[in-house]
Amino acid sequence: MLLIYTSVFSLPLILFLFYFYSVFGSFSFSLFSDFSSSFLFSFIVFTCFSVKLPIYGLHFWLPIAHVEAPTFGSIILAGVLLKLGGVGLVRIRSFVEVFLLKSVLLSYLVFFLSVVTIICCFQSDFKRLIAYSSVSHIIRVPLLFLRRSVFRFKSLILVIFFHGLSSPVLFILVGILYSIFSSRQLIVIRGLLLISPLLRFILVLAFFFTISAPPFPSFVSEVYFFSSSFTLTSYLMYSFLIFAFFSLVYNLN
């Protein structure tokens, strides 16, 4: 599945890069500012990096990859590899026409910002829940990408950085819980306070870090995100309320 997604969405960009290098003899996008301002180029580049984030609709390979991978593989995937999509968006932000993407993708991202959190509430597998919660949190990155400002850029970096810290911690804890209970089902993982109070305390801290509660540093990224995104659309406030409420619901599981 991962190979299919990578081939379908990366092949147009690879072919375009080969064509561009054969014409200009360079990979510098600044040489073709007229073409880079087109919607087709912006959409292809944005989609290719969004697969690696991944955003909702391009994430179907992620739960399968995490569930079938060992704990160490999930840590590397969540902490390093998935963040390459966000880094790619940061690096190409000056060559993509954000206004054209915003007019097409904003309503899609705002709607599924709420939907994906509701999907997380119906997950029973702990590892799959963390994988879907990554999709829920990382969809904030393209929303910040659609707004041009220095404050937005700082918010984008903080969201990627702190998500790269919280996800590996959660996957480490899932691996430890699986070694204790031999199951990742939430209904089976009970009585941890009697078995290991220290692990229970670490899980509570990881929970607060994931929901970005103060005084954890991830709270700063959440404040930056809410502050820098309100100017995108007036309907974003309602999606934020649903997003915050259901994020608390599935984290309480």
Is the model more confident about 110 or about 16? 110
- pLDDT tens figures, 162-178: 888 888 888 888 888 88
Residue 21: the pLDDT is: 62
The confidence band for 18, taking pLDDT boundaries of 50, 70 and 90, is: low
The confidence band for 13, taking pLDDT boundaries of 50, 70 and 90, is: low
The verdict on residue 10 lying in a domain is no
How high does pLDDT run on average in the chain?
A: 78
Q: What is the mean pLDDT of residues 106-112?
A: 82
> What is the DSSP secondary structure assignment for residue 32, as one 8-state letter?
G
| Least confident stretch, 25-29, 97-101, 119-123, 194-198 | 25-29
- pLDDT tens figures, 116-144: 888 888 888 888 888 888 888 888 888 88
For residue 2, pLDDT over 50 is answered with no
Structural domains of the chain, count: 1
Question: Could you give the 3-state DSSP secondary structure of residue 212?
Answer: coil
Residue 252 identity: L
For residue 12, pLDDT over 70 is answered with no
The verdict on residue 163 lying in a domain is yes
Which among 9-18, 54-63, 201-210 has the top mean pLDDT?
201-210
The verdict on residue 12 lying in a domain is no
Q: What is the mean pLDDT of residues 33-59?
A: 73
Residue 11: the pLDDT is: 64
Backbone angles phi, psi at 230, to 5 degrees: -65, -25
The verdict on residue 178 lying in a domain is yes
Q: Which two tokens stand for residue 22?
A: 């054969």
For residue 36, pLDDT over 60 is answered with no
Residue 34: the pLDDT is: 53
- pLDDT tens figures, 66-84: 878 888 888 888 888 888 8
Report the alpha-carbon distance of residue 138 to residue 131 in Å, rounded: 11
Residue 33: the pLDDT is: 53
The verdict on residue 1 lying in a domain is no
Asked whether 32 and 20 are in contact (CB, 8 A), the reply is yes
**Structural domain for 239, as ranges:** 31-252
- pLDDT tens figures, 226-239: 777 777 776 777 77
- HEC assignment per residue over 112-135: HHHHHHHHHCCCCEHHHHHHHHHH
The verdict on residue 8 lying in a domain is no
The verdict on residue 156 lying in a domain is yes
The verdict on residue 183 lying in a domain is yes
Residue 224: the pLDDT is: 79
